[in-house]
Amino acid sequence: MESSRLKNIIILILVLLNVSLLLSLGGRRSAQRSARRQATEQLVELFAANEVTLDPDLIPRQSPPAGRAMARDVEQDQKVAEALLGQQLTCTEQGSGTYAVYAFNSDQGAAIFRANGSFEAAVTRSVEDVESFCRTFCREFGYQDLTFDLTGGSGTATATQYHNGYPVVGCTVVFSIADSQLSTVKGTHLPDTYTEVPLTEEPLSATTALSAFLSAYQASGGVACAVTDITLCYELQSTTSAPMSLVPVWRISTDIAGSVYYVNCITGTVTHS
């Protein structure tokens, strides 16, 4: 009887402990929501005071991803070259080691790939449906947001590469088209191989990034009337002699056509395109 009563007491204590923990957790979450709501309201008011409209529903709650150091993959460079120039390729290496330049040639054109991910190809092959070709290439190699600017079968097609579900600033491909045939393809392509770079400090939230943007906007004498979009991206950082790396950034678009700001999630640096 005493043993049974002791068990019941222990069970009751555990139940009360779990209830207490749940209430405590709920209280913390409620406090966090309240603090976030208050910070958002204050930010919207601050933007309004500077005559810029900010819709609070535009502000994301997600956290930025970690950065990534990309490892060059010559085999993948060759796959891109084959997609553009056909299967029968010859390859020559200019220079040596990590920063070598690789040149691919076939009877359908030539292409050069550099260590910073950039490439360019002169294409002489005949393509039956150039728009379909561009779509297939983009789908195979991770480019999205393909747009065509053609008049009478000539012009360009442009797309942005995505990585880990995010668009990559500074990583695009441009197809030049003449008389419904490819003439050149230029751009940057990311390898699949990478090493995640752990964050050494808490990355900037969307709210903090917007505050940094507003300061830069005020200093530059901006004339935007509204923030129209806030999204996470990667920014490609590379040179002709340095490995590629991806850094998370917040992209802030305004109602001024082509006026986009990027806020580095690590340093808080604001750049304007």
pLDDT digits 0-9 by tens, 39-84:
788 899 999 998 899 999 999 989 999 999 998 899 999 999 999 9
What's the rounded mean pLDDT across residues 31-46?
Answer: 75
How many other β-carbons are positioned within 10 Å of the β-carbon of residue 67?
21
Tell me the C-alpha distance between 101 and 96, whole Å.
8
pLDDT value of residue 177: 96
pLDDT value of residue 16: 56
Name residue 54's amino acid: L
Q: Which residue has the higher pLDDT, 166 or 202?
A: 166
- pLDDT tens, residue by residue, 177-219: 999 999 999 999 999 889 998 877 889 999 999 999 999 988 8
Tell me the C-alpha distance between 39 and 207, whole Å.
8
pLDDT value of residue 35: 59
Share of residues in the chain with pLDDT > 90 (%): 60
- pLDDT tens, residue by residue, 130-145: 999 999 999 999 999 9
Name residue 40's amino acid: T
Helix axis angle, 130-141 to 74-85, nearest 10°: 170
